[in-house]
Chains A and B, each alone.
Chain A
C-alpha cells in the first residue's frame, strides 16, 4: 500500500480514537469504553503491521500498557482504607410508631379503604382472610398456600416469642413442654449444659475450659449457637432505646414504655437469606415474591425463638422480634450498628455477608451480658449507593429516591416513599408483593470467591464505584446484568398495576383504629396518586435491564379508560371491593383530644410535634442530637 495512504488511514484511526475518548468522557458509558479499547487496538495493529516500529517503540508501548494495567490493578486491589463508617444520625431522632410503617398504614386504612381491604380482589374468600382489629379482612399474605404456610407457621412460632407479656404481647403464649423454666426472673441461672462446657469451636478460641460466663465467652457461645441453629452469621450490639417502637401494631396502638423494656440491653440479630435463584427469577408478577420473603422470615424467626428459648431457660430475659408477625424494635439499625451492614439507597440495611439485600433478620432482645461486636467499620455500601441507582430505576412506582441522601427524623440516608411502596406491595394486581429493588441490587450475589473479591474491591477501591455504578460511572454492573439470569421465561414483565382508590378519594382524620388515633399529620402525601392521578402504571413500554414492560391488556380498564382493580388471576374479583368501608372510626377533634388526654387512646409519629404525641416523648433520648454510641451507653447504664 502507498505509504501516504497508509499514514492517512493511521491518522484517521487516531481521530476515531479521539472521538471515542470524547464519547467516553461525555457519556461515561461502558460501550464507549469498549469501543475505545477496540479502536486503540486497531490503531496499534495498523501502526505495527503497516507503518512499522522500532524496538525502542515496542519497548515503550509494552511498558506503557503494562504500566497502565498495573496502576489500575493497584487502584482496584490495593487495600486502601475504606471510607469511615457513615454517621447517619445528624439531628434529633424520635422513636417510630409501628402503626406508622408502610404495611401498618395500608392495613389500618390510612392509605384508603380499597387498599385496607386489599385481599378482596382475590376470590377465595372462605380461606383467604385474617381477623384484624375485630374485622375479617382478606390479606395479601394469605393469598397463596405457600405464603399461608410460611406466615402461618411464623404466627405459631410467635407464641414462643416471650414467656411474659409486655404491652399485651405476644398473645396466647404456650408453655414450652420440655423446659425447666420457671419464670422470667429465676434466681438460679443454669449454664450451657450440665458440665458447663464451652462448645468446641468456642473453646478453640478461648481455651478448653469450663465456662465462666464472661461477656466474651457468652458472646462467642451465642454466635456459635446461632450459626448452629441456622443463621448465616450472628450480630451482637447494644440496644439504642430509640429503636423501640412507641406503639404496637398487633395490639393496635398499645404504647411501649421504655421503663418496661429497660432490662433489654443487648440485641442479638440472626440472618437468613432469600434464595438467590428464586430472587433472580422472580419478575414480581407471580406469587413467589411473598412466598420467598415468607420463607426467609420464618427461617430467621425459627432460629431466633430457639436461641431465645435457650437464654430464657438459663434464666435471662429474651424477647424475639421477627417478621411475618411482629417486631418490638425497628430492625434495620441493628444490622447497621452491629457492624454487619450499612444503609443503602433502598433505605434498608444492605448486609454484604448475608446476601446483600436478600436477607431477612430476627432479633433477640436480652439482658444476657455479652461482649458486643467490634466497633463498626464501613463496607463502602453507602459510598457505592452514591454511584448506583439500580433499585431506584427498577422500582415500579418510583418510590426509591434518585440523587443524594436527605434528612428525615434526624437521620441522613435515602428515604423511600413508604406509602407508595406499601400500596404497590399490598395491592400488586399482577402478582403478590414486589421484588424489583431487591432483585437488582449488586450486593445480592452468592458469596463465591469471585464475588467476595468484588465486595472487597468495592469496599477498598477508590475507583470501583465509578466502574461498576452508572451514576457518574461506566455502568459495568448494568451491562453485566446479573439479574438477567435464567429468567428468560419470566423476562417480559407486565407493567405494574396496583389497587387504586376511587377517583377523588380523600381520607378523613382523626381516625381511631383500635387504641390508636391517626391524625391529619398522618395523611399520605400520595393520596391523589393513589386514585390514579399521575400514576403511570409503572413503566409501560420501558425496557429496563432486559425486561420489557408491555401494554396493559384492555380487559383491565373500565369504559372510562381507568384501570380496574382486577387481579389477573381473578378477573371477576373487582365488584367485591366496591364501596368497602374503611377501617376505624372517624372522630371529632374534641373526641380525639379527650381520648388522648385521658389515656384512652394514643398516637405517635416521629414527624409530629412533641405536644401531639401520646404518651409523651422521652426527654432523655428524644431531645437533642445523640449519637448511637451515646444513646446505647446511656441505655446500658440505665438502672
Chain B
C-alpha cells in the first residue's frame, strides 16, 4: 500500500496515504493562516492578522484531534 516509511535510529513510523493527505491539508491550512498573519502585520492591521491565524488554528482542531487522539487500540 502507498505510504511513507520512516526509519531513523530508534524511530520508526509508517504514514498511510490517508494520514499524509490529512497532514498536508492541515499544515497547508496552518501555513495559510501564517501567511494571513504576516500579511495583516505587513499592512499595519495586526488584529486582522492575529484573528486570521486564530481562525485557521480553530478550523484545523478537528483534524488535530483525529491525528493525535485517534490511536487505534484494536484492529
Contacts and interface: CB of A to CB of B under 8 A. Distances in A.
Contacts of B47: 480-481, 484-485, 546
B69 interface: yes
B44 A485 contact: yes
A482 interface: yes
A486 B67 CA distance: 38
A451 B39 CA distance: 9
Contacts of B70: 44, 47-48, 53, 57-58, 61
B27 to A, nearest CB: 12
Interface in B33-68: 35-36, 39-40, 42-48, 51-52, 55, 58-59, 61-68
Nearest to B73: A52
B43 to A, nearest CB: 6
A484 B68 CA distance: 36
Contacts of B39: 448, 450-451
A26 interface: no
A332 B68 CA distance: 55
A37 B61 CA distance: 7
**Contact-residue bracket for chain B:** 35 or more
Interface string A25-45: 000000000100110111011
A66 B51 contact: no
Contacts of A178: none
A61 B45 contact: no
A482 B43 CA distance: 9
A54 interface: yes
Interface residues of A, number: 43
B55 to A, nearest CB: 7
B55 A48 contact: no
A44 B65 contact: yes
A66 B18 contact: yes
Interface string A55-87: 101110111011001100000000000000000
Nearest to A546: B47
B31 interface: no
A62 B74 contact: no
Nearest to A53: B70
A448 B19 CA distance: 33
A549 to B, nearest CB: 19
B43 A485 contact: yes
Contacts of A42: 65
- For the complex, would chain B's binding face be called helix, strand, loop or mixed by DSSP majority? helix
A65 B63 CA distance: 7
B45 A54 contact: no
A528 B26 CA distance: 58
Interface string A480-518: 111111100000000000000000000000000000000
B16 to A, nearest CB: 7
A277 interface: yes
Given A53-B70, A57-B70, A62 B18 contact: yes
Contacts of B71: 48, 53, 58
Nearest to A52: B73
Contacts of A485: 43-48
A476 B55 contact: yes
A276 interface: yes
A54 B73 CA distance: 7
B52 A58 contact: no
A44 B62 contact: yes
Contacts of B66: 44, 48, 58, 61-62, 65
B54 to A, nearest CB: 8
B62 A41 contact: yes
A280 interface: yes
A280 B45 contact: yes
A544 interface: no
A276 B39 CA distance: 14
Contacts of B35: 450
B75 interface: yes
B5 to A, nearest CB: 17
Interface string A440-460: 000001101011000000000
B25 interface: yes
B19 A482 contact: no
A446 B44 CA distance: 11
Interface string A252-279: 0000000000000000000000001100
Given A58-B70, A476-B55, A484 B62 contact: no
Contacts of A208: none
Contacts of B10: none
Contacts of B58: 34, 37-38
B69 A44 contact: yes
B59 to A, nearest CB: 6
A243 to B, nearest CB: 35
Contact of B72 (A40, A58, A277, A484): A58
B18 A484 contact: no
Contacts of A59: 16, 18
A49 interface: yes
Contacts of A484: 45, 47-48
B22 interface: yes
A228 interface: no
Contacts of A280: 44-45
Nearest to A451: B39
A41 B74 contact: no
A176 interface: no
Contacts of B18: 59, 62-63, 66
Given A41-B61, A484-B45, 15 more contacts: A38-B58, A41-B65, A44-B66, A45-B65, A48-B70, A61-B66, A62-B67, A65-B63, A69-B63, A448-B39, A481-B48, A485-B43, A485-B45, A485-B46, A485-B48
Interface of A: 34, 37-38, 40-42, 44-45, 47-49, 52-55, 57-59, 61-63, 65-66, 69-70, 276-277, 280, 445-446, 448, 450-451, 476, 479-486, 546
25 contacts: A34-B55, A40-B61, A40-B62, A41-B61, A45-B68, A45-B69, A49-B69, A52-B72, A53-B70, A53-B73, A55-B75, A58-B70, A59-B16, A59-B18, A62-B22, A63-B18, A65-B22, A66-B63, A70-B25, A445-B43, A480-B47, A485-B44, A485-B45, A485-B48, A486-B46
- List of 8 A-B pairs having minimum Cβ-Cβ separation, nearest first: A41-B61, A48-B69, A48-B70, A44-B65, A450-B39, A485-B45, A45-B65, A55-B72
